[in-house]
Structure 1
Amino acid sequence: MLRLQLLTWDVKDTLLRLRLPVGESYSAAARSRGLEVSPRAVEAAFRQAHRERSRRFPNYGRARGMGCEAWWLGLVRDTFRRCGLAREEDAGLLAALAEQLYRDYSRAESWEPLPGAPETLRRLREMGLPMAAVSNFDRRLAELLRGCGLRGHFSWVLNAEEAGFAKPDPRIFLEALRLSGAEPGLAAHVGDDYEHDYRAARQAGMHAFLLAGTGPPPSGVPREHLLESLSQLPGRVGKA
């Protein structure tokens, strides 16, 4: 059993997931305002827009003084423009859609815990293991975790917008270690993404566990570092 002073958690697709895919929720919001856009087209446009906006304005535009709300409103507008809503007369409609979706995704009702997440967190907390959330989410994260009933399991929450670094930059993990006072060799991170969670945490000197997906695991990840389900985790860790 690995003895730890700190266990950090990724959030999206490790502890929480969207109740509906982005394409479906964006398409439904557009439909409520009289627009027909296919979920598949919206999903593809969203991925392109998100990739481009993350490149141009990393960490929710923090360095530009933008902040998460302006960042997301711009992303939603860009997504629908890529779906053909690029006329000048569409501007007002796009602004209303963006505000509606920003509000929707701020509510706990748009999210749900992954199977086993609440029970696993409860068991680990009962073991006395200090835990924190370390996520590429924006400043809404703590309130979202509270609304989903998970905030109380964490000593603190670190999001990329406020940290100034986003995974896979290992500096976000170094900041987590600084906040906790834990030694890297006595800390571990849990996440579902090899590059952003597993590899980045290990670059910061931490241990790491990778939540297995549906495909084959990345080469070089020891079997004992793979989790087929979150319920396996309490048996692998303990308080130092």
Structure 2
Amino acid sequence: MLRLRFLTWDVKDTLLRLRRPVGESYAAEAWAHGIRVQPEALTRSFREAYGAQSRLFPNYGQGRGLSSQQWWVDVVKQTFRLSGVHKEGVITLMAENLYHDFCSAGNWEVLPGAGETLSQCCQRGFRMGVVSNFDNRLEKILSQCNLRHHFEFVLTSEETGFAKPDGRIFQKALHLGGVPPEQVAHVGDDYTRDYRAARAVGMHGFLLRAAGQSAEPEVPPEHVLPTLSHLLTLIEKG
């Protein structure tokens, strides 16, 4: 059995996922203002706007004089512009509404098995924290989804100034937990940002892989989670 004392967790697509595609949420907001835009067009525009903003201002504009709220509002405004909406006053209002909407459990749902797995990990005596490339809304989202109480800390890339796979965000988590890396495992769904990055600082890693996802040859089967419910079994086998 692995001698683990602490578990760190990714959030998006590991513990929580969006209830519906971004384009559908944006289309519903536009419809509330009497504007019809196809959800598929908004989803494509969002990808383009998000990608451009991430390249120009990485990690929500950290260190570039931009708040994460302004960063997101700009992404949403550009998404609507790219989809052919040009009423600037309405665009600003919709962007601010959507920024606040995505703080709530109305837009996020807990993945199957996540709540039960976290509770079981707590019962087994594991201490836990979050390491996520998210902005400062994450605390509120986790609270709304009734998961926050499982974690000693919630570490976001906005707060630390470092985004996974940068090892410094994991070093910060190790410092907060007061645990050596060989006694910590990180659980996430991204091979580069979660699995490989955690192992690069000496932590253990478990990779959540949805059915049908291609396998990375460097990940041994005992580190792969078909579902979160497999976690404790794999820890005990290890």
Partner of 2:45: 45
Distance 2:118 2:127 in 1: 11
Distance 1:221 1:134 in 2: 20
Of residues 157-166 and 33-42 in structure 1, the stretch that sits farther from structure 2 once superposed is: 33-42
Of residues 59-68 and 123-132 in structure 1, the stretch that sits farther from structure 2 once superposed is: 59-68
Match of 1:236 among 221, 234, 237: 234
Of residues 213-222 and 7-16 in structure 1, the stretch that sits farther from structure 2 once superposed is: 213-222
Distance 1:75 1:23 in 2: 13
Unaligned runs of 5+ in 1: none
The answer on whether the counterparts of 2:10 and 2:131 sit within 8 Å (CA) in structure 1 is yes
Q: Does 1:57 align with 2:57?
A: yes
Deviation track 1:143-198 (CA, whole Å, cap 9, x = no partner) reads 11011000010011101100101112121111111111211111110001111111
Distance 1:79 1:18 in 2: 18
CA drift at 1:5: 2.4
The alignment-based identity, stated in percent, is 53
Distance 1:211 1:17 in 2: 13
The answer on whether the counterparts of 1:77 and 1:98 sit within 8 Å (CA) in structure 2 is yes
The answer on whether the counterparts of 1:142 and 1:151 sit within 8 Å (CA) in structure 2 is yes
Partner of 1:165: 162
Secondary structure, counterpart of 2:106 in structure 1: helix
Partner of 2:185: 188
CA drift at 1:200: 1.1
Partner of 1:145: 142
The one-letter amino acid of 1:99's match is: E
Aligned residues: 235
Distance 1:56 1:179 in 2: 31
Unaligned runs of 5+ in 2: none
Deviation track 1:103-162 (CA, whole Å, cap 9, x = no partner) reads 110112211100000000000000110100110111111111011000010011101100
Partner of 2:3: 3
Partner of 2:26: 26
CA drift at 1:236: 2.6
Distance 1:193 1:156 in 2: 21
The answer on whether the counterparts of 2:223 and 2:234 sit within 8 Å (CA) in structure 1 is no
Q: Does 1:223 align with 2:221?
A: yes
CA drift at 1:65: 2.6
Q: Does 1:97 align with 2:94?
A: yes
Match of 1:212 among 209, 213, 232: 209
The answer on whether the counterparts of 1:2 and 1:236 sit within 8 Å (CA) in structure 2 is no
The answer on whether the counterparts of 1:137 and 1:160 sit within 8 Å (CA) in structure 2 is yes
Distance 1:95 1:192 in 2: 33
Q: Does 1:82 align with 2:82?
A: yes
Deviation track 1:80-119 (CA, whole Å, cap 9, x = no partner) reads 111122x4xx110110110110111011221110000000
Q: What is the Cα-based RMSD across aligned positions, in Å?
A: 1.2
The answer on whether the counterparts of 1:7 and 1:130 sit within 8 Å (CA) in structure 2 is yes
The one-letter amino acid of 2:108's match is: W
Distance 1:216 1:107 in 2: 32
The one-letter amino acid of 2:90's match is: L
